[in-house]
């Protein structure tokens, strides 16, 4: 049981930022990662389609005996998490990237905070609804920032293009007075420093990697599932392979990785 892998999935390579954080605090764990590169971006898809894709991927990760499954994508967490958790509750523990952040925000008791994410994540209203339940006194301003994912994937991270796009989105007057900004997309940690700089380091910029990996560790400890066998091995699958995906995967994971194509749909 203990040496079974942690299953992780995302629409593509963004979830590797979370996988990287997990590897840092749980180096003894095996990971099996699935990036649905054939169907990305999820941020523009409907809730129904994301639920369908996420269900198939969950079955794939279960076929590799995952002891826990993490949805490392905000768009999929916002659209499919509650349904999948209920459907698979007898088979596997499922966690998402939204609830740990919402729990963290409840401890911090901010008066006003901003959220940026994909169109799907923002239009779902999932963050707002969950924050309202746990932090009723917090004023939440959400903004879809769809250009950020292709911008990051094309490598525009610390230059004139990225600065102009970040500035255009974040100068939105409704963000005035925010104490914190939630990066509700697993791609965004790559531009976290530029965003902090935009706010003159006066706004706390929160991404899910730290809270999610800490929660995952906690769950494994509580359920006596930590891998102490010294047999860690990671596998990275994608539904469509190109050398370019492999190149940017390395950028998100902060280390070279080999991607293997696994076609779940034909």
SS (H, E, C) 225-241: CCCCCCCCCCEEEECCC
41 scored as a contact of ligand DGL (CB under 6 A) = yes
Binding-site member from 50, 61, 122, 149 for ligand DGL (CB under 6 A): 149
Part in contact with ligand DGL (CB under 6 A); list of ranges 21-29, 34-42, 104-112, 230-238: 34-42
CA 177/CA 154 separation, integer angstroms:
31
Binding-site member from 7, 11, 18, 51 for ligand DGL (CB under 6 A): 11
Residue in 249, 15, 5, 244 with CA at minimum distance from that of residue 257 = 249
DSSP character for 264? S
Tell me how far, at minimum, the Cβ of 108 lies from ligand DGL, in Å: 21
Task: Collect all residues with Cβ–Cβ distance below 8 Å to 9 and sequence separation of at least 6.
Answer: 15, 33, 34, 35, 36, 54, 57, 58, 61, 69, 70, 71, 72, 73, 76
35 scored as a contact of ligand DGL (CB under 6 A) = no
73 scored as a contact of ligand DGL (CB under 6 A) = yes
Q: What amino acid positions are annotated as catalytic residues?
A: 73, 185
142 scored as a contact of ligand DGL (CB under 6 A) = no
74 scored as a contact of ligand DGL (CB under 6 A) = yes
Tokens linked to 103:
């729990």
CA 112/CA 119 separation, integer angstroms:
21
29 scored as a contact of ligand DGL (CB under 6 A) = no
Phi, psi values for residue 116, rounded to 5°: -120, 145
Binding-site member from 66, 186, 213, 227 for ligand DGL (CB under 6 A): 186
- Closer of 51 and 67 to ligand DGL (Cβ): 51
C-alpha distance from residue 240 to each of 136, 157, 174, 246, 263 (Å): 42, 24, 39, 11, 7
Tell me how far, at minimum, the Cβ of 232 lies from ligand DGL, in Å: 25
Part in contact with ligand DGL (CB under 6 A); list of ranges 40-48, 88-96, 190-198, 236-244: 40-48
| CA distance between the termini of the chain | 31
43 scored as a contact of ligand DGL (CB under 6 A) = yes
| Helix, strand, coil fractions of the chain, as percent rounded to 5 | 45, 15, 35
**Which positions from 199 to 228 touch ligand DGL by CB under 6 A, shown as an x/- string?**
------------------------------
100 scored as a contact of ligand DGL (CB under 6 A) = no
Q: Point out which residues bind ligand DGL (CB under 6 A).
A: 10-12, 14, 40-43, 73-75, 118, 121, 149, 185-187
């Amino acid at each position: 049981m203990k040496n079974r892998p942690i299953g992780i999935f995302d629409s593509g390579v963004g979830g590797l930022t979370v996988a990287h954080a997990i590897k840092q605090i749980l180096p003894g764990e095996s990971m099996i990662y699935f990036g649905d590169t054939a169907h990305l971006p999820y941020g523009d898809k409907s809730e129904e389609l994301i639920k369908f894709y996420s269900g198939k991927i969950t079955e794939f990760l279960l076929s590799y005996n995952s002891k826990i499954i993490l949805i490392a994508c905000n768009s999929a967490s916002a659209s499919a998490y509650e349904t999948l958790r209920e459907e698979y509750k007898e088979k596997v523990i499922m966690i998402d990237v939204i609830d740990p952040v919402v729990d963290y925000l409840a401890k911090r008791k901010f008066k006003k905070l901003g959220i940026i994410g994909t169109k799907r994540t923002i239009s779902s209203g999932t963050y707002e609804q969950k924050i309202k339940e746990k932090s009723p006194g917090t004023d939440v301003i959400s903004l879809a920032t769809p250009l950020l994912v292709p911008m990051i994937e094309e490598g525009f991270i610390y230059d004139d293009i990225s600065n102009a796009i970040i500035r255009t989105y974040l100068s939105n007057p409704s963000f005035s007075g925010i104490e914190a900004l939630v990066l509700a997309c697993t791609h965004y940690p790559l531009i976290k420093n530029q965003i902090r700089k935009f706010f003159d380091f006066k706004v706390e910029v929160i991404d899910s990697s730290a809270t999610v990996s800490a929660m995952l560790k906690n769950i494994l400890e509580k359920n006596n599932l930590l891998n102490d066998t010294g047999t860690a091995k990671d596998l990275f699958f994608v539904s469509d392979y190109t050398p370019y995906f492999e190149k940017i995967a390395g950028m998100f994971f902060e280390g070279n990785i080999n991607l293997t194509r696994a076609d779940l749909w034909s």
